Amino acid sequence: MGTYQVRGGQGVNQILAAIRDGYRSLDTATNYDNEGAVGEAIRRSGLPRSAFFVTSKLPGKYHQYDDATISIQESLYRMGLDYFDLFLIHWPLPKRDHYVEAWRAMIDAQKRGLIRSIGVSNFEPEHLDRIIKETGVTPAVNQIEVHPYWVQERMRKADLERGIVTEAWSPLGRGSAALQEPMIKQLAEKYQKNVGQIILRWHTQRGIVPIPKAQHLQHQRANIDIFDFSLTKDEIEAINALSKPDGRVDGQDPNVYEEFE
């Protein structure tokens, strides 16, 4: 489950509800100001740490080697954990050009046991190739924007060719127009599912790991109940065809987008 905007005491309760309904993979980031709430929900669940797959992310202001090293430690302290299952460079910020240093800091943090798997987010093929070439280490995951209006077949293939798992952020298009798409509504009727479930199934059948965010219980329950039906190849292609040239939810182009938080 994604946790952007899921914060504070209410956030802890919403994450706990998701855990009780079966969620084990939780995606947070230093930039979301909620690593504390996610860590608290994990502790209150009473489940062992090993039951969870916890992801957090390095903010752009900490890409330099020493800053990145400390930022990883501080994220762990905020969460009350002693390791991450997955840690990602949140954005490449190519104009600042420190992402290779950040990657080296993550490789070393992994060697020290602070992170099990290291990955990136919003990396384009040239950013992937550069860190692989300069360090010899391929990211396990690239977390990128993917939804029916921003299908990203080019990046899905680029990740696949390099042996990298693609995760989809805003997999439901951040609850926007994609959820009103008539063609997907028809599929929902056919399969007796809701539109969100059709979209999440489409991601998984493309080999992509979606991380939907849901604060409402009925959304949380629906989003995890997608493993008892299959879309046809033609239906997957039909959803792929909904992609738009300007389909990003917030216009964030990784080649130029700068997050300074």
Ligand X SMILES: NC(=O)c1ccc[n+]([C@@H]2O[C@H](COP(=O)([O-])OP(=O)(O)OC[C@H]3O[C@@H](n4cnc5c(N)ncnc54)[C@H](OP(=O)(O)O)[C@@H]3O)[C@@H](O)[C@H]2O)c1
Report the residue number, 1 or 109, with the smaller CB distance to ligand X. Answer: 1
Q: HSE (CB half, 13 Å, CA atoms) of 131?
A: 29
Q: Contact with ligand X (CB under 6 A): which of 34, 56, 122, 152?
A: 122
Residues that bind ligand X (rule: CB under 6 A) add up to a total of 27
Which helix (H) or strand (E) segment is 12 a member of? helix 8-20
Contact between 219 and ligand X per CB under 6 A? yes
Integer Cα distance of 33 and 6 in angstroms: 9
Write down how long the chain is: 261
Q: Which stretch binds ligand X (CB under 6 A): 44-52, 58-66, 207-215, 233-241?
A: 207-215
Q: According to CB under 6 A, which residues from 50 to 69 bind ligand X?
A: none
Binding mask 165-204 for ligand X (x = CB under 6 A): ----xxxxxxx---x--------------x-x--------
Token pair belonging to 208: 């992509």
Active site residues: 32
Report the residue number, 38 or 76, with the smaller CB distance to ligand X. Answer: 38
Nearest approach, Cβ of residue 186 and ligand X (Å)? 16
CB contact burial 41-69 (16+ within 10 A = b; e otherwise): bbeebeeeeeebebbbbbbbebbebebbb
Report the residue number, 205 or 215, with the smaller CB distance to ligand X. Answer: 215
Contact between 98 and ligand X per CB under 6 A? no
Report the residue number, 18 or 234, with the smaller CB distance to ligand X. Answer: 18
Identity of residue 20: R
CB 261 within 8 A of CB 31: yes
Q: Which stretch binds ligand X (CB under 6 A): 1-9, 76-84, 158-166, 233-241?
A: 1-9
CB 130 within 8 A of CB 97: no
Can you tell me whether residue 92 is helix, strand or coil?
A: coil
Give the nearest residue (CB) to ligand X: 2
Identity of residue 100: V
Contact between 119 and ligand X per CB under 6 A? no
DSSP letter for 64, please.
Answer: S
Q: Contact with ligand X (CB under 6 A): which of 54, 76, 214, 239?
A: 214
CB contact burial 136-148 (16+ within 10 A = b; e otherwise): eeebbbbbbbbbb
Residues in contact with ligand X by CB under 6 A are 2-4, 27, 90, 121-122, 143, 169-175, 179, 194, 196, 211-216, 219, 222-223
